[in-house]
Amino acid sequence: RKEVEQDPGPFNVPEGATVAFNCTYSNSASQSFFWYRQDCRKEPKLLMSVYSSGNEDGRFTAQLNRASQYISLLIRDSKLSDSATYLCVVNPRGGSQGNLIFGKGTKLSVKP
């Protein structure tokens, strides 16, 4: 099983739609979780951290399910500018140790 797995998509949705991505991770001891966004031919940028209690940032909601070892990202009222690849990221060791493991990303295309 890969350390971090995502559906590569693409997800093609109309403007205003709600879209959700899931990601699974293999290491049950993982401590830190993130969603990154990567635009075409650009570097990945931190979108939001994912906390155990779930967290929201405007139209974006991230949730963590430790029991099932998956992370989700929900985007409400999609905008054209949301078109990008969304990377699920896990720190398998947590704290100040180790490095982040990146999923291959889910591509989102928002159409007018």
Interface with another protein by CB under 8 A: which residues? 31-32, 34, 36, 42-46, 49, 87, 89, 91, 93-105
C-beta of 2 vs 111, nearer to another protein: 2
C-beta of 17 vs 109, nearer to another protein: 109
Please state the closest distance from residue 15 (CB atom) to another protein, in A: 28
C-beta of 49 vs 55, nearer to another protein: 49
Q: Residue 112 and residue 97: Cα distance in Å, rounded?
A: 44
Please state the closest distance from residue 76 (CB atom) to another protein, in A: 23
CB atoms within 10 A of CB 78: 21
C-beta of 8 vs 54, nearer to another protein: 8
Q: Residue 25 and residue 11: Cα distance in Å, rounded?
A: 21
What is the residue whose two structure tokens read 């590569």? 8
Please state the closest distance from residue 72 (CB atom) to another protein, in A: 18
Q: Residue 76 and residue 18: Cα distance in Å, rounded?
A: 4
- Which token pair is 76? 């409400």
